[in-house]
Amino acid sequence: EAQVTQNPRYLITVTGKKLTVTCSQNMNHEYMSWYRQDPGLGLRQIYYSMNVEVTDKGDVPEGYKVSRKEKRNFPLILESPSPNQTSLYFCASSPFPGQGQETQYFGPGTRLLVL
Amino acid sequence: EDQVTQSPEALRLQEGESSSLNCSYTVSGLRGLFWYRQDPGKGPEFLFTLYSAGEEKEKERLKATLTKKESFLHITAPKPEDSATYLCAVHGGSAAGNKLTFGGGTRVLVKP
Q: Among B32, B58, B31, which residue's Cα sits nearest to residue B47?
A: B58
Check A106 against B43: CB less than 8 A apart.
Answer: yes
Reply yes or no on whether the pLDDT at A99 is more than 60. Answer: no
How high is the pLDDT of residue A36?
97
Measured CA to CA, the distance from residue A56 to residue A45 in angstroms comes to 11
Check A33 against B32: CB less than 8 A apart.
Answer: no
How high is the pLDDT of residue B31?
83
Confidence class for position B29, pLDDT limits 50, 70, 90: confident
Reply yes or no on whether the pLDDT at A59 is more than 70. Answer: yes
Q: Collapsing DSSP states into helix, strand and coil, what is residue A106?
A: strand
Q: Burial, A110: exposed, middle or buried (Cβ in 10 Å; 0-12, 13-18, 19+)? A: buried
Rounded to 5°, the CA angle B16-B17-B23 comes to 125
How close B43 comes to chain A (CA, Å)?
5
Contact A72, A24 (CB under 8 A): yes
pLDDT tens track for A7-18: 999 999 999 999
State chain A's mean pLDDT as an integer.
Answer: 91
Contact A41/B at CB under 8 A: yes
Q: Among A70, A34, A36, which residue's Cα sits nearest to residue A52?
A: A70
Check A106 against B44: CB less than 8 A apart.
Answer: yes
pLDDT tens track for B37-69: 999 989 999 998 898 899 999 999 999 999 999
Q: What is the mean pLDDT of residues A79-86?
A: 97
Q: Which residues of B32-49 are buried (b: 16+ CB within 10 A; e: fewer)?
A: bbbbbbbeeeebbebbbb
